[in-house]
Structure 1
Amino acid sequence: MTGKQSDPKPSFRAVLALPGHKTWYAASALIRLPVVMAPLALVFLGHATHSFAAGGLLAATHAIGEAAGAPLMGRRFDTRPFLGQLRLSLAAEGAAFAVIALIAGHAPVVLLAALTFLAGAAASGAPGGMRAQLSATSPEHLRPAALGLESALSQTTWAVAPPLVALVYTRTGAAGALLVMAVSSAAPLLFARRIPHTERSAAAVTDGAATGTRTREILRTVWPTALLSVAIMFLIGTADVLLPPRLEENGASPALAGPVMTAFAVASIVSGLVYGARRWPGSPFGQTACLLPLFAGAFALPAWTGAPWHLTAAFALGGLLFSPLMVIRNIALQHRLPQQAWATGFSVLYAAAGVGYGAAGLLSAALLGTSTPGNAFLVCALVTAVIGGVSLAGERVTRTSASPAAVSDPPVRSER
């Protein structure tokens, strides 16, 4: 014993009691809501003004804009004043959604696609910038709890957004959903100053660039963690595409995919809260090596059973593992990068997640043309395991050569 008083036990109450943190979570929910609403809302908009194909094109263009813009916009959050960058990003996103809603019935698809790309790219750095500020303004012993609460909030948004889009669409049409998204984007601008944040001096930014925190250097440092993000979201994208045909293949209604995915969302909310409520033994590397194979295995189960209740159980198991993996991913990134590069790093993970999700859709669609949904689930689970294995191998190799600044944080260990 050294006599030094240990940190108090992490708790969500302690996180929310930190100055401004309730405001952070409120702003984060409003920032995430239009992003999660966008795919379904844009499909409805395309159908109402042109066709379902046009809607799919708009949704894809928005996702491409996010993936393309995230590293650049995330870097701006690291090198520019936080409040100014947040206001610029959210104002541009809100304006783009509002313009789309107003001109959708009178504009060509090409113009709408350009605006959806702008909306996706403009705010693509905001989630990473916000997460970097959450970590920077939370004591180290409370970061897992803060990130666990963020993961639960994110999954709650994913559970709420699609029904909200459907409700608004039935009452006011697709343009109404886009206006709700615009309002949600702009709302945090009203209380942005109250979001807890730290501002870096120009000297700190210059020092960061001089010590190798440029975007290219960051990519070289965090590629194993980014590949883990690809693996996790690849499996989620697989599930979204393959679940309805797997249900139909077994004589069940494809509409049951909704309740099954709800089970996933609820389980992930619970596990995010449980994981963040205490400290767990092992490093992020060790925890990932344990949980990722189980995560892939949960989504391999639909290859052998297609009964709705069995699928619900498999997806609930996947949800229980999903949130801890996402929190571990975020903690691992903080261990690999100095604080002045966190926003860029988190934005790289955001882009990688989009790449994984999109690749899953393409592969799943191709597999459905040549195989059964059950076999497609198995193939995609194996692909996830391979990507995860490469990620873990890269983590083991690169962490031995990481700079001291990037690995100065201690591992996540249980403290009694």
Structure 2
Amino acid sequence: MDAESLRSTFRSVLSLPGTRTWYIAAALVRTPVVMAPLALVFLGHSAQSFSVGGLLAAIHALGEAAGAPVMGRRFDRRPFVGQLRLALGTEALAFTALALGAGQVPVPVLLALAFVAGAAAAGAPGGMRAQLSTITPEHLRPTALSLESSLSQAAWAVAPPLASLLYVRFSASGALIAMAVASAAPLLFVHRIPHAASRPETPGETGDEWLRTTAILRRVWPTALLSAAIMFLVGTVDVVLPARLEDVGSSPALAGLVMTAFAVASVIAGLLYGSRRWPGTPLSQSLVLLPALAAAFTLPGLTTQPWIFAAAFAIGGLLYSPLMVIRNLALQQRLPQHAWATGFSVLYAAAGVGYGAAGLMAAALLDTAGSGTAFVACTLTTIVIGALSLLGERTHLRHR
């Protein structure tokens, strides 16, 4: 193998067979998930209030948390193509039902549909990421995952303003229809997405503790808790930001543009982080990045200037992508390759729990304490969760 092929460059990753198709599919898989929080907040606001919207977003995230371990394990054990069809097809149908049922059915029915939409496709991101890691040579994986993180943040750059635009021009239902279309689109070329053959179970392997989700969780719980802390912060933003903008005299639809500042900065940070080696261990980097991210996201609760919101979110974006890459690499170091899809789905579930808990907490605080207090309270909670994660990581390192 020549020196050029050994270099961890984005060109090297994109030149691997099928990876461009994988990244296109991953973008489509990610887009409706990123649109969902803001679209569901708008849907709830149209039906009743921002609190109902926050509840819909939270239930969607909790559906992801409930479905991710189960669906992720199915991606580990069953044919990839069939599982992706099941996940994305069900998600598309649920979003379509939400769009058609808005204003026509009771809120509990909307909550049930939001839960199904979250649970159905919860294993898809982990299953996709596991396939990327499988088809990518080990020396290129940090770069491939950094590119994936930047792609995810590119979706954040496009999806929230798209949800806002569709809400303003049409309705929240228009955003949900667009989400359903994005969910179904990868099914048109699912066989072309590069993937390895599923590894069938062998006699006696069912009891192997490496393959049990509970055993995996025992192994990766500090990383899972870090994932929950990060998404608790993001969940706070998605639920509280539209209400905060309205409270300071701006349009709630500006939330999409403010989130774009976060996403664009995240794309840049992901590319920079993957382009070189950075000083310090993943633990020491997390000790700096997570508190700084929480501090940046506290600013909208302390000021009334929307331009400061955008600046704070841009700073947050520069810190977010490296944290996500650190999280993904830490999981791969703790688990064997045949358990990666399950492991990534455990992280996805933890992220859903963090996001859903933030939505429930923020929705309650919006009704009782206001949007500014909700921002500050939720960012302080993130610090507590993150501290527990980093203490657990330090304990794990001592016992290795």
Question: Which category describes the TM-score, using the shorter chain as reference length?
Answer: 0.7 to 0.9
Query: Which is worse superposed, 156-165 or 364-373?
Result: 364-373
Looking at structure 2, the residues matched to 292 and 106 of structure 1 have their Cα atoms a distance apart, in angstroms, of: 42
User: What residue is the counterpart of 1:411 in the other structure?
Assistant: none
- Answer whether contact 2:228 2:354 (CA < 8 A) is retained: yes
1:238 maps to 2:239: no
User: What residue is the counterpart of 2:76 in the other structure?
Assistant: 78
User: What residue is the counterpart of 2:140 in the other structure?
Assistant: 142
The equivalent position to 1:156 in structure 2, one of 139, 154, 157, is 154
1:217 maps to 2:235: no
State the shift of 1:8 in Å: 2.9
SS at match of 1:270: helix
Deviations 1:268-314 (A, max 9, x none): 11101111122323332232223223223333455665544444333
User: What residue is the counterpart of 1:181 in the other structure?
Assistant: 179
State the shift of 1:45 in Å: 4.9
Amino acid at match of 1:190: L
User: What residue is the counterpart of 1:410 in the other structure?
Assistant: none
Looking at structure 2, the residues matched to 17 and 64 of structure 1 have their Cα atoms a distance apart, in angstroms, of: 37
Label 1:209 to 1:194 Cα distance change in 2 as closer, same or farther (>3 A): farther
Amino acid at match of 2:118: G
State the shift of 1:89 in Å: 1.1
Q: Please show how residues 253-268 of structure 1 align to structure 2 within 5 Å.
A: 253=250, 255=252, 257-268=255-266
- Larger Rg: 1 or 2? 1
Label 1:187 to 1:386 Cα distance change in 2 as closer, same or farther (>3 A): same
State the shift of 1:382 in Å: 3.4
Looking at structure 2, the residues matched to 84 and 311 of structure 1 have their Cα atoms a distance apart, in angstroms, of: 43
Label 1:152 to 1:211 Cα distance change in 2 as closer, same or farther (>3 A): same
1:281 maps to 2:295: no
- Answer whether contact 1:296 1:384 (CA < 8 A) is retained: yes
Label 1:162 to 1:377 Cα distance change in 2 as closer, same or farther (>3 A): closer
State the shift of 1:326 in Å: 0.7
Looking at structure 1, the residues matched to 246 and 323 of structure 2 have their Cα atoms a distance apart, in angstroms, of: 30
How many equivalent residue pairs? 397
Deviations 1:243-267 (A, max 9, x none): 5666677x66365655443322211
- Answer whether contact 1:205 1:340 (CA < 8 A) is retained: no
SS at match of 2:136: coil
SS at match of 2:197: coil
Query: Which is worse superposed, 76-85 or 202-211?
Result: 202-211
User: What residue is the counterpart of 2:86 in the other structure?
Assistant: 88
The equivalent position to 2:95 in structure 1, one of 97, 100, 109, is 97
Q: CA RMSD in A?
A: 3.2
State the shift of 1:157 in Å: 1.3
Query: Which is worse superposed, 19-28 or 81-90?
Result: 81-90
Q: Please show how residues 3-18 of structure 1 align to structure 2 within 5 Å.
A: 8-18=6-16
State the shift of 1:175 in Å: 4.2
User: What residue is the counterpart of 2:339 in the other structure?
Assistant: 341
- Answer whether contact 1:367 1:376 (CA < 8 A) is retained: yes
SS at match of 1:272: helix
Looking at structure 1, the residues matched to 191 and 246 of structure 2 have their Cα atoms a distance apart, in angstroms, of: 50
Amino acid at match of 1:81: P
Deviations 1:185-244 (A, max 9, x none): 122112112111112332469647524320110111111001101111222233445556
Deviations 1:378-397 (A, max 9, x none): 54443322221211111122
- Answer whether contact 1:79 1:205 (CA < 8 A) is retained: no
- Answer whether contact 2:142 2:329 (CA < 8 A) is retained: yes
Amino acid at match of 1:223: W
State the shift of 1:178 in Å: 3.1
- Answer whether contact 1:93 1:119 (CA < 8 A) is retained: yes
SS at match of 1:233: helix
Amino acid at match of 1:202: P
The equivalent position to 1:393 in structure 2, one of 380, 391, 394, is 391
1:29 maps to 2:13: no
SS at match of 2:6: coil
Q: Please show how residues 43-62 of structure 1 align to structure 2 within 5 Å.
A: 43-45=41-43, 51-52=48-49, 57-62=55-60
Deviations 1:151-190 (A, max 9, x none): 1111221222233234444555544433332222122112
SS at match of 1:264: helix
- Answer whether contact 2:161 2:257 (CA < 8 A) is retained: no
The percentage of counterpart residues that share the same residue type is 64
Deviations 1:310-364 (A, max 9, x none): 4433322211011100111111111111111111111121121222223233444
For structure 1, the residue ranges without an aligned partner over 5 or more in a row are 403-416
- Answer whether contact 1:245 1:254 (CA < 8 A) is retained: no
Q: Please show how residues 280-319 of structure 1 align to structure 2 within 5 Å.
A: 280-301=278-299, 306-319=304-317
Looking at structure 1, the residues matched to 4 and 45 of structure 2 have their Cα atoms a distance apart, in angstroms, of: 58
User: What residue is the counterpart of 1:193 in the other structure?
Assistant: 191
- Answer whether contact 2:226 2:385 (CA < 8 A) is retained: yes
User: What residue is the counterpart of 2:17 in the other structure?
Assistant: 19
Amino acid at match of 1:216: T
SS at match of 2:91: helix
State the shift of 1:376 in Å: 5.3
Deviations 1:118-150 (A, max 9, x none): 222111100111111111111122112111111
TM-score normalized with structure 1 length: 0.83
Deviations 1:47-102 (A, max 9, x none): 66x54576555444322211211111111111212122111111222233334444
